Structure 1
Amino acid sequence: MNDVARIVPIGVADEGDEYIAWLNKRTSAVFLALFVPPDPRGVYSNPECAITDCDRVSSAGAGLCGLHVKQFRTSGIHDLEAFRRSAVIRPVVKKKHGGSSARGIFDLSACASATVRAELQLAISCKATGEYGGPLRADAFNSFVQSLNAAGVRSLRDLRASAPATLVVEKRAGSYASTHRMYLTEFQSWIELAEGNFSVKRRIGTRRGGSQRWSQSQDIAQPWLREIVERWVAYRVNTEAADAQHIGQQESHVVEFARWAEARDVTNPEGVTRSLLLDWLAEVNSQTNKHGKKFSGGYRSAKISAVSMMIQYARVEITQRIPSNALYLAGEFPARDIPSPRFLEPRLIDTLRLPRSLDLVVDPAHRTAILIMMQVGVRAGHTCSLPFDCLIDLNRTGSLDKWALNFIDTKSKMNITVPIEPHVATAIKAQQQRALVESAKMGLAVPELLFANSRARSTRQLAPERLNIVLRQWAADLDLRDSAGQLEKITPHRFRHTFATEMLEKGVPIEVVQKLLGHRSLSSTQIYATTTDKRMRAEWENAKFVNVRGEAIEMAEGPAADAEWLLNRMSHAMQPLPNGACGLPIQQSCPHANACLDNCPHFITSVEFLGVHRAQSLEFERTISKAEAAGHFRLVEINKRPNENLKKIINALEDDPGEASDAS
């Protein structure tokens, strides 16, 4: 970096203000400067451009400034090191609005007010701790300085009481409008926090999609309870107990409790009694959503759990004035609802899988993501964050149809490998080519993500939330309706439920399905198995069965029906037949040497095998015809009897025209 970026201490004597002196004491000495260079660590700002002698700051995650990202993308050079040696260095021209795409420096010398300069130095110093969110953008920051100058702002604290000045700052922001609004809120909040005022909104962290989660505890009226909640939230964040989204949800639950307690005149820690907690439990259990429906057991349990954890923390770390019996006993938490898989009916999933249906999804990246979720049940978040090299080639000895998807399941912390069909592998290969282009736009020589997205500044990937929007539009374009005529709601997780259900119905062992889904506990997978069993039994009870002579079989009722259903499942699992099922108990051996069609009393079949029966009958006819022509009458006799039984079965199953046509 040139000499202009050298550290130049600013003395308090500029204005002789005690407030400036107070700010300087709370600012790291390295930031008491007129010009602050980019942070090589990437904490308070992105690092400087990786091209030697380039004074610009790098773009998010690229390592190159915006100018050199464009050069790299159009150069045709794929090796970053080779590009660095041939890159063109252009002189920096400072923009009128103060933006530092002109320069990768925070230009504090441009501040018209020494007080504003000291406040902004404190802001950069706060950012450098890593506790106040992601990097500052030097271009937006310098533009912010110019906007403050234009508005005649003497201190950031004045903006709260000076609406006209705030409007001037926002009016001059241009494309930086949202960033300037964030700076106004954050920088003022950090000053107040330094003053010991904890009643300001604070950033909890970044959500998965890149947006920020802000605190709500500043809205609690009682200072003692607000302090408890704020310290508990800080404890959860600092110990990385959960992500920002989850901690924010927990905070919203305890803030709701605090407001409710305030309305009940709870004015001190002694008022947080067990009786109060039981009343809150009753309140939560009686609440309904906007549709008038009672909240789920899981949601009610989350509300109670958040309050319980907060009170336990407060009693141990903050105050012992909360009564020791103010707690919930085991069994008092709302019971979680038994999960019910929301799989898509066969008619729906079959429609969605049609090539002409998928073609309605215009964006090829969205189409590939949907295909992956639909075929192998990967969660939306994991799909969007799939690594670039997620495709595994399993082909050996000339085969072309064996592929697998490999990724880390961040929820279970497991490495997942899922076999995929060839057309899914083909779609992933095409997406890899698109990812190369998107990664080059971001200045990355080696792609990191399959669904790289140069338009997503913070996450650099396809957003899961975007897929939900695409799926809603897709369902509308296809006009998919449920049995009540309402537009079907298609979500990524319904694809996951459908995948699990289909695997179990096809006879895949539940332990294998558990691995495919990335479940740590078999009980999670068992939910799908229970639903699958109910669904298959309903179809079995409504089916028409005939024996080897084509006679209809009456199904039993009550306990006998339960026993026959279990026998049917065991027969399919242990003695699968291509044209029906064996009704013989599995503990007994078959005396007919698998000659099921030769008057076996245990043979059972249904309309789903009608096509197999027809094909087998034609094969019998050809065999008999050849045997008769050759004079092999014994062979004719062997094949004639089972073929006659087969014709009886076909005639019996064809008695129902609707079923017969469906099976054809």
Structure 2
Amino acid sequence: MSSPALNNQHAGLGLLAKLMATVRPEFRPRIVIPAPGSLVFNTEPCRIDGCERQRTVKGFCKGHYKRWLDQGRPETESFLASPGPLPSGAGPLAACTVTWCRFGSARRGLCVRHHGFFARSGETDMSRWLTTLSPEPATERPECRLAFCDLWAQGNSPLCLNHKSRWHAIGAPDIGEFVTRCESVGLDRFDFRCLDDRPQLRLELQHALQCRHDERRASTHSSAVTPVIRLVTDSGVTSLLDWDLDRWATFYGAGRAGRSHRHNGQLAFLRFAYTRLEDLAAGTGWESEFYRDAWAMHRLGHTDTRGTLRFDKIPQPWLRALAKRFIRWRLTSGREIIQARVDILALNRFAAFLAHTIPDSDGPDCIDRGILERFLAELARDKRAVTSRGRDVSSLNAFFAAVRRHGWTEDLPTSANFYPEDFPRPAKRLPRALADHIMAQLDQAENLGKWTSPDSRLLTLILMRCGLRVGDACNLATDCVVRDGDGAPYLRYMNRKMKREALVPLDEEVLAAILDQQQRVRERFPDGSNWLFPAPKMNPDGAKPLTTHSYRGQLEDWLERCDIQDEHGQEARLTPHQWRHTFGTTLINRDVPQEVVRVLLDHTSAEMTAHYARLHDTTVRRHWEKARKVNINGDTITIDPQGPLAEASWAKQRLGRATQSLPNGFCGLPVQKSCPHANACLTCPMFVTTAEFLPQHREQHRQTVQLLSAAEARGQTRLIEINQAVLHNLDRIIGSLGDTASAGAAG
């Protein structure tokens, strides 16, 4: 809902003066006819050759579409081949039969002048009379003012004879208006004449039309705008801001129940006109926006979004005021809009809890540790995911900390605080990597060839091979390829999540495809475009990149054409981000060091990369089979990976890692049996170890030597006996595993 203060004071804000300074001359006529080629007004001509009228349905103008319907909806190609004569009304009228005369035909095919000559000649046969005429010298005469008519103007009139007659037949309106109406027959036009008595209201709608043209975000047709013009005319208001949006929606909806979905476009244009007018009246910046309960982000400098942050669901005035200060601080300190939305949702839930628990609260002094514990109890009953509930606690904790730190109020108790153990503990999720057989289908040349757009095919390759987020890939710059000192190519992109540039190596196939794409962009936009993937529509100057929404729609169509199936033969579903998970997991399972994977994915911390470092079971087993395993005597233990006991041995080893792992090896004892050796694994025949535990063995060897020395000094015979066996086994284990490690390093 809009601000009542703004609605009541729009006249005092100089809105008319702002409109006069903003609306350009081409949008001010009483009848606005879009210039040819205006994208948002859909001024493409009819598909029929020679017909310049605007296409409306199926690529035909209204006349040819009706003719197509009358013929029984024939095949489009056959109708295009034989559409019949062009519609009447958009061409020159008949001229005088006298070949060198371009006056309009009046009587018996002759103009008024030549018909008088014929009548006075006494000749009855016009054909014979015409042969007696001598050509007159060429004379420069003014032509009819209508652009499509090449007849001479009649007398002092700017129109030919017949167009002059038509002009008189409709009451001789303003000649410029008549010309506009005639020349726009069959074209989309926006008629504002019904608002002649309310010039500001007319300018407001013309301003909306201009904004639609400049923003180039949605097609705009007279079928959506004309009903809105009639609607505001019938309302009796002098400005759109006289009513709020809710009242306009109610007025619009009266008597329209059950109408077609096309009316959604009309209401959308009405809302669009209203919000753009509010933008003009309210101005921009924090001074005008802060005190509103709905912040339009584009007015605060976020020009890439038309989103809104709303505070009207916080019923407590004191909490709403603090929430606004908190969100303003978060935004101006560099936080993203999505984080502000998360914070507001958390504050909304907390405000609803307070309204139910302490309905008469009039300040933050009611928020103590007891209230927060009750809130946590309610939050635990919430059916949302653990991570979502954890975000609520995190946002509220940041809110309380900011209130105290910045001194926004002195009434917030010091006990209003959450502690680390208050946060819900989310379960660790596995990476959502795609199965190998699904990736094999997606990466087939045959399936990649089913992309109808080379732009989207390349974008898909980049997501698969480079692991970018889909938003970062859509916003790649045209000059995104850089080379190092050795000439190796890298893809340079902006990691928008971390707000920094990043690089990832390119293979030759993707590099060649990028070079081809750069050439296509240069051909499409000779003046240049900043984007490797410019938006395919509503983008004549290449200023807008492809949106993730557009790519996701194309991806769904491509997957349907490829018929990708999962292991159960069902249609496979995937999201673009799963390619990033697959990229990271694949690298980990190819033994690429985790630090290298972190750099390629441009993660800030190793913990983020660790999410992808959940090795496939086959990878862990491969390393286990390759590793040399020895017992307490240093003897090598061999297990045939193809033998009948291989699977059982592997299962036991996995179980041992999970339930009986030791600091220096693994227990080979079946888990069902109890250990008779207490803490003496190095003297246990079931003990198994590998070279990865050499550091632990050497450290234990050093400690055992020290222990023996101390025992000998004190004469502790039993302790010496036990540790001599341990030291003996450690010598054999270290000697055996040390030889293996040395051989591996040499290899």
TM-score norm. by structure 2 comes to 0.53
Distance 2:445 2:612 in 1: 28
- What secondary structure does 2:270 align onto? helix
Contact 1:300 1:334 in 2 (8 A): yes
TM-score norm. by structure 1 comes to 0.59
Contact 2:367 2:413 in 1 (8 A): yes
The alpha-carbon distance between structure 1 residues 215 and 21, as it changes in their structure 2 partners (threshold 3 A), is closer
Paired position in structure 2 for 1:370: 460
Question: Which of the numbers 20, 27, 34 marks the counterpart of 1:34?
Answer: 20
Letter in structure 2 aligned against 1:513 = V
Paired position in structure 1 for 2:388: 299
> Per-residue displacement from partner, 1:409-455 (whole Å, max 9, x unpaired)?
22234432222222212222232233335x53xxx711210110142
Question: Which of the numbers 521, 535, 538 marks the counterpart of 1:453?
Answer: 535
1:424-503 residue pairs with structure 2 within 5 A?
424-437=510-523, 440=525, 445-455=527-537, 460-482=544-566, 487-503=571-587
Distance 2:416 2:548 in 1: 41
- What secondary structure does 1:230 align onto? helix
1:173-212 residue pairs with structure 2 within 5 A?
178-184=268-274, 187=277, 201-205=294-298, 212=306
> Comparing 512-521 with 427-436, which one deviates more in the overlay?
427-436
Letter in structure 2 aligned against 1:34 = M
Q: Does 1:158 align with 2:243?
A: yes
1:66-77 residue pairs with structure 2 within 5 A?
none
Distance 1:485 1:434 in 2: 38
- What secondary structure does 2:494 align onto? strand
Distance 1:223 1:112 in 2: 43
> Per-residue displacement from partner, 1:594-633 (whole Å, max 9, x unpaired)?
7xxxxxxxxxxxxxxxxxxxxxxxxxxxxxxxxxxxxxxx
Distance 1:240 1:197 in 2: 16
Distance 1:174 1:589 in 2: 75
> Per-residue displacement from partner, 1:454-506 (whole Å, max 9, x unpaired)?
42569822222333344445445544454566643322222112212222333
Question: Which of the numbers 308, 312, 316 marks the counterpart of 2:397?
Answer: 308
Contact 1:343 1:498 in 2 (8 A): yes
- What secondary structure does 1:218 align onto? coil
Question: Which of the numbers 480, 483, 507 marks the counterpart of 2:591?
Answer: 507
Shift of 1:214: 2.3
> Comparing 350-359 with 173-182, which one deviates more in the overlay?
173-182
- What secondary structure does 1:418 align onto? strand
> Per-residue displacement from partner, 1:7-38 (whole Å, max 9, x unpaired)?
xxxxxxxxxxx99994454448962x634356
Paired position in structure 2 for 1:319: 409
The alpha-carbon distance between structure 1 residues 28 and 434, as it changes in their structure 2 partners (threshold 3 A), is same
The alpha-carbon distance between structure 1 residues 35 and 209, as it changes in their structure 2 partners (threshold 3 A), is closer
Question: Which of the numbers 411, 421, 441 marks the counterpart of 2:507?
Answer: 421
Letter in structure 2 aligned against 1:258 = A
Shift of 1:252: 2.0
Distance 1:226 1:134 in 2: 33
Distance 1:175 1:95 in 2: 25
Contact 2:297 2:305 in 1 (8 A): no
Contact 1:405 1:418 in 2 (8 A): yes
The alpha-carbon distance between structure 1 residues 503 and 338, as it changes in their structure 2 partners (threshold 3 A), is same
Q: Does 1:588 align with 2:742?
A: yes
The alpha-carbon distance between structure 1 residues 329 and 426, as it changes in their structure 2 partners (threshold 3 A), is same
Contact 1:373 1:495 in 2 (8 A): yes
- What secondary structure does 2:490 align onto? strand
Paired position in structure 2 for 1:385: 475
Contact 2:343 2:395 in 1 (8 A): yes
Paired position in structure 2 for 1:536: 619
Contact 1:213 1:244 in 2 (8 A): no
Paired position in structure 2 for 1:284: 379
Distance 2:481 2:288 in 1: 54
Paired position in structure 1 for 2:354: 261
Distance 2:615 2:460 in 1: 24
Letter in structure 2 aligned against 1:158 = W
The alpha-carbon distance between structure 1 residues 180 and 275, as it changes in their structure 2 partners (threshold 3 A), is same
The alpha-carbon distance between structure 1 residues 332 and 504, as it changes in their structure 2 partners (threshold 3 A), is same
Contact 1:414 1:518 in 2 (8 A): no
Contact 2:397 2:418 in 1 (8 A): yes
Distance 1:110 1:521 in 2: 62
Contact 1:376 1:420 in 2 (8 A): yes
Paired position in structure 2 for 1:272: 367
Q: Does 1:218 align with 2:312?
A: yes
Shift of 1:371: 0.9
> Per-residue displacement from partner, 1:128-167 (whole Å, max 9, x unpaired)?
xxxxx98999x99998778634643234333654667535
Paired position in structure 1 for 2:326: 232
Contact 1:391 1:405 in 2 (8 A): yes
Distance 1:537 1:408 in 2: 35
The alpha-carbon distance between structure 1 residues 430 and 396, as it changes in their structure 2 partners (threshold 3 A), is same
Distance 2:270 2:17 in 1: 24
Shift of 1:378: 1.1
> Comparing 212-221 with 376-385, which one deviates more in the overlay?
212-221
Letter in structure 2 aligned against 1:338 = K
How many residue pairs end up in the alignment?
498
Shift of 1:299: 2.2
Distance 1:180 1:520 in 2: 46
Letter in structure 1 aligned against 2:521 = A
- What secondary structure does 1:452 align onto? coil
- What secondary structure does 2:457 align onto? helix
Distance 1:436 1:502 in 2: 35
Distance 1:240 1:173 in 2: 42
Distance 1:485 1:136 in 2: 40
> Per-residue displacement from partner, 1:257-304 (whole Å, max 9, x unpaired)?
212321223432233332222222232233224xxxxx13x3222111
Distance 1:114 1:345 in 2: 64
Paired position in structure 1 for 2:87: none
Letter in structure 1 aligned against 2:20 = L
Distance 2:475 2:8 in 1: 47
Question: Which of the numbers 492, 498, 503 marks the counterpart of 1:406?
Answer: 492
The alpha-carbon distance between structure 1 residues 340 and 565, as it changes in their structure 2 partners (threshold 3 A), is farther
Contact 1:409 1:416 in 2 (8 A): yes
Contact 2:194 2:233 in 1 (8 A): no
The alpha-carbon distance between structure 1 residues 588 and 20, as it changes in their structure 2 partners (threshold 3 A), is closer
> Per-residue displacement from partner, 1:345-392 (whole Å, max 9, x unpaired)?
222222211111222333322221111100111110111001111134
- Aligned-residue sequence identity (percent) comes to 20
